[in-house]
Structures are given as C-alpha cells and as structure tokens.
Amino acid sequence: MTRVVSIYLPDLATDRIRRADPAIPPEQAIAVIAKSGSRRWVSAADDAARKAGVRVGMPAAKAQAIFRDLMMIDADHVADAAALERIALWALTVYSPIVAVDGPDGLVLDTEGADHLQGGEETMLTGIANRFRSKGLTAKVAIADTWGAAHACARAIQRETVVVPRGETFRAVERLPIHLLRLPDKNIDDLRTLGFQTVGELGNTARAPLALRFGPEIGRRLDQMLGRASEPIEPIRAPEWIEVSRAFAEPIGAAETINKYVGRLVIQLVAELQRQGLGVRRTDLIVDKVDGSRQAIRAGTAKPARDVAWLTKLFRDRTEKIEPGFGIEKLTLVAVMSQPLDEEQRSSTLIDEETSDITPLIDVLGNRGQRVYRLAPVASDVPERSVQRIAAAAEPSGEIWNHQWRRPVRLLDRPDRITAIALMPDYPPRSITWRGRRHNVARADGPERIFGEWWKRDSELEAVRDYYVIENDVGERFWIFRSGDGVDPETGDHQWFMHGIFA
C-alpha cells in the first residue's frame, strides 16, 4: 500500500532570506511583509519573531510595535516559489521518483515502500528532517496513507515528525481544524459560520446538504483525505531532463507486455542520450494506472551509461514490483541524472580479455536497495579519522595508509570501553574485561603512541593514546588503547578502550 510523506517548510521565506544573506546574525528576528494595496501584513515570521509575539496575518505596524528590533523584509513570492521548486527537484533525486510541490510551503512524496531501506518510517522521517536542518531549512515531516492526511498532520503537529499508522487516518485527523482540508478560504469562513470547527465534525455530517450549499469540493477533499478517492501526485520535472513516454489505447497489465514496452522506451531514451552526448546515472520509470494512481521504479548506475541491454535488464529485474491493478494506461521513462559520456573505441581481439570492471555488480546491488561504497584512506594518525566512505565507482584518491605498526582488519565504529588490569605507565594489561567476558593476556606488543591533532582541535593539544596489540590464551588478538600517557592527567583520563580486532 502506498504511503505518502508531506514535508512542511514553515520558515521557507525566512530561511531563504538567511541563506541569501549569511551576514544576518542567527539571533536576529525576521518578519516577511506582504502588501495588498495600502494594507501590509506579516506573511511569514521566523522562530525568534514568533517567540516575541509576532504572528502571521498580523498588521506590519503592530508587529513593529511589539518588537522594535524586528527586521522587516518585503515578500518575494516568486523567489519563494523558485526556491521551493529547487528543493523539490533536489528531493526527487534523493528520496523518491514521485515528488511534487504541495502549496506554497511544502512538498509531497510517494515513498513507494522505501522506508524499509532506511530503517523504518520513523527513522526515515527523522533522517529527512535532519538532512533539511543541515541545509539550513526548518522542516516538519509526516507520513500517512493519503496526501490529505499527511499534509494536515505535518502542519498541525508541534513535534518534528509524526507517523500515522496504516488504517488509522480518520482517528489521526478527526480533531484537526477544517482549514487543513485545503479548501478555499471562502468555504472555510462559511463552514465556521455554520459552527464547524474540526474535520471530524465535517466528516460525520450528511453530504447532501453540504454539497447543495457548497458544491462537491468539500466531499472530494474529505474523500481524498480519508482514502475513499484517489489523489495522484503529479511528479515535478526539470525542463532539461530527457523524457520518453508511451500511452496505450487499451490498458496493459501482463508482465511480458510491460517488459516489451519498457525495452522500447529504453531504446528511445538511449537514442536521445547519444544525440546529446550524455550517459544516464539515474532513471525513473513512472507507471500511470487506469484508476488515476501512479507507481514508480528507480534504476541507478555507478557510472554514466547508455547501454540499451544493461539499462533494460536493470528495469526488467524489478518490473515484478509493478502492480497493474485495473491496467496501465501510460509508461514514462525519465533520465533524472545524466552526465557527459564520450564515445569509446573498443578494439576487437581473437581472445576474450579478462575484465576487472565490477560496475555491473555495483549496479545490481545498488538497485536492490543495498548501500554500496568503498573505503579510502585519509591522511590522519587518529585511526577513526583515517578512513572515509567514497562512491563505489569513484577513482582512487592516491592516498595510502602508511603505518609502521600493524592495523586490525576490523575497526570498531567507536572505541568500546573495557576494564583492564595493568601497571602504568608503559606496561600492557595482564587481563581485560570486554562486554562481560574476561581475557587473560598471553602476549602483547606496544605501546604505539598516537598524538592528538592539535591543529584541528584545541582540546587535543596534549592528548595522546597508547595502543597495544594483545593476544589472549586462545589466540584471539585485539587492538586496545589507554587514553593518556599513564602519568599526566592532562593527556587523558587513563581509561582503557577496545578499538579493533585482528584476523
């Protein structure tokens, strides 16, 4: 079942202003002022302004009187809309093939079951909120069975994320105010005049009198929110993206037929890519169904590609996930990410040459949802800083590890505290206790002293670690260290840690 994510950006206008002018102090309160004739009012306010009592809709003069140091900037709705479109295009390349702008201050995404690839829905939403925050954007994120429910919950919640359990849409929205139904302002005002305040009150009212007075819009919005009527998300597209499509006079649904037309679309897409001298890195297959719903499949490659056979295989390996329902009326193939790709001259030989290119394997694993990457050296003596993740198909960085002492085959993500019995300052432990298990030390080598990187952090000016390679009485070898030189407390707290395991 499709799940929909709504991302609400309450401070879109003020966040855009801060990003455009980094010189604005973080503590400076900002209000955005809209104009209509002689009337001026607050159309957006950042968190500092809201804490001072400034509210959206408040007259500009009143806001200035409440907070004299308030920075008031004229609204630029064109710039805000352009910023939101850029964010939507970025989200499409990162999160989902189906992303659309949701009003003037939000996005809507069809997650297409992608939550299990990111540790579940709660983890996925937290990751989205954190990523937006890292880019200087305030975001509230909600996931629900429908666009309407996710939209309403994202704008009603006080916390950063909310997950509406499957099948509990009405329970989640029944107490929310009616303005979250995305109805025209005139309808909202008239409904409030009649005494309606919440979605639940409206949903429990007979439809006929409402339709007679207001038309079908209220019933349509209620049905969309509660999942009784479909509301397809029209994916945003960049004008420069290459797109090919095929519409069908009669709906299709058989797997063989789907694969046949996907193959034809790949041929058309590759022909256009070749004409423009491009190779594709990420391609989306959008499936439009008879009932108005959409489904999407995304295929990516580690390097730019325009090999018809390979791209066709990547999609055919995943077309079994397509649920045709009552039939498919249109297939669309979109090159979401493309890069220049030159023609390559291949020489012919009588003997097949051995190839070491593992890009096809990377593509297969990546399209199954696996996170594929390589580890590369970093110039650092501190073990946990001496390695970084890079793209699986990235070119070698040229850096190498250059250590006189042996390094373990497995390095723990974080040093794990242990209990050790040792004579300080220079002797290795006689025994250690790690995760409740005692190890008697039969042999040891060390210490290898590693100094802190004082040029990066002032706190590491005097910090040191003394590392030892130890072996227990059954032949297991570990890499442990003591924080500090064993004498001066300024160099470390003299606690012992497990940091790696040898083969």
Residue 356: what pLDDT? 66
Residue 368 has pLDDT above 90, yes or no: no
Helix axes 185-193, 207-214, angle to 10 degrees: 130
Query: pLDDT per residue over 117-148, tens digit each?
Result: 556 788 889 999 999 999 889 999 999 999 99
Residue 252 has pLDDT above 80, yes or no: yes
Element (H, E) at 252: strand 242-252
Residue 345 has pLDDT above 70, yes or no: no
Rounded CA-CA distance 149/267 in Å is 40
Query: pLDDT per residue over 160-191, tens digit each?
Result: 999 999 999 999 999 999 999 999 989 999 99
Residue 375: what pLDDT? 80
Rounded CA-CA distance 502/58 in Å is 66
Q: pLDDT-derived band of residue 501, with 50, 70 and 90 as boundaries?
A: very high
**Single-letter amino acid, residue 405:** W
Query: pLDDT per residue over 449-482, tens digit each?
Result: 999 888 888 888 889 999 999 999 999 999 999 9
Q: pLDDT-derived band of residue 116, with 50, 70 and 90 as boundaries?
A: very low
Residue 200: what pLDDT? 94
Query: pLDDT per residue over 211-226, tens digit each?
Result: 999 999 999 999 999 9
Rounded CA-CA distance 485/466 in Å is 7
Indicate left, alpha or beta for 113 from its phi (over 0: left) and psi (-120 to 50: alpha). Answer: left
DSSP 8-state secondary structure symbol assigned to residue 345: -
Closest CA to 167 of 145, 193, 189: 145
Edge-to-edge order in the sheet of strand 71-74: 39-45, 30-36, 71-74
Q: pLDDT-derived band of residue 274, with 50, 70 and 90 as boundaries?
A: very high
Rounded CA-CA distance 110/6 in Å is 9
Q: Is the dihedral of CA 239, 107, 322, 316 positive or negative?
A: positive
Token output for 110: 């069809």
Q: Counting every residue, how long is the chain?
A: 503
Token output for 400: 């190498």
Q: What does the mean pLDDT of the chain come to? A: 88
Token output for 315: 């999609």
Share above pLDDT 70 across residues of the chain, in percent, rounded to a whole number: 93
Taking the alpha carbons at both ends of the chain, their separation in whole angstroms is 45
Q: Rounded to 5, what percent of the chain is helix, strand, coil?
A: 35, 30, 35
Rounded CA-CA distance 406/404 in Å is 7
Rounded CA-CA distance 371/349 in Å is 36
Give SS3 for 474: coil
Residue 88: what pLDDT? 95
Residue 353: what pLDDT? 59
Q: Which residue has the higher pLDDT, 10 or 358?
A: 10
Query: pLDDT per residue over 66-89, tens digit each?
Result: 888 899 999 999 999 999 999 999
Residue 49 has pLDDT above 70, yes or no: yes
Most confident range, picked from 103-117, 325-339, 450-464: 325-339
Residue 1: what pLDDT? 61
Question: What is 37-100 written as a DSSP string?
Answer: TTEEEEEEE-HHHHHTT--TT-BHHHHHHH-TT-EEEE--HHHHHHHHHHHHHHHHHHT-SEEE
Least confident range from 101-115, 170-184, 247-261, 339-353: namely 339-353
Residue 113: what pLDDT? 52
Computed over its alpha carbons, how large is the radius of gyration of the chain?
30
Share above pLDDT 90 across residues of the chain, in percent, rounded to a whole number: 59
Helices (H), 330-438: 359-367
Residue 344 has pLDDT above 70, yes or no: no
Residue 348 has pLDDT above 80, yes or no: no
Residue 31 has pLDDT above 50, yes or no: yes
> Which residue's entry shows tokens 């793209």?
391
Least confident range from 131-135, 263-267, 381-385: namely 381-385
Helices (H), 95-198: 121-134, 147-156, 169-173, 185-193
**Single-letter amino acid, residue 319:** T
Closest CA to 176 of 201, 147, 140: 201
- Cβ(4)–Cβ(109) below 8 Å: yes
Residue 347: what pLDDT? 57
DSSP 8-state secondary structure symbol assigned to residue 394: P
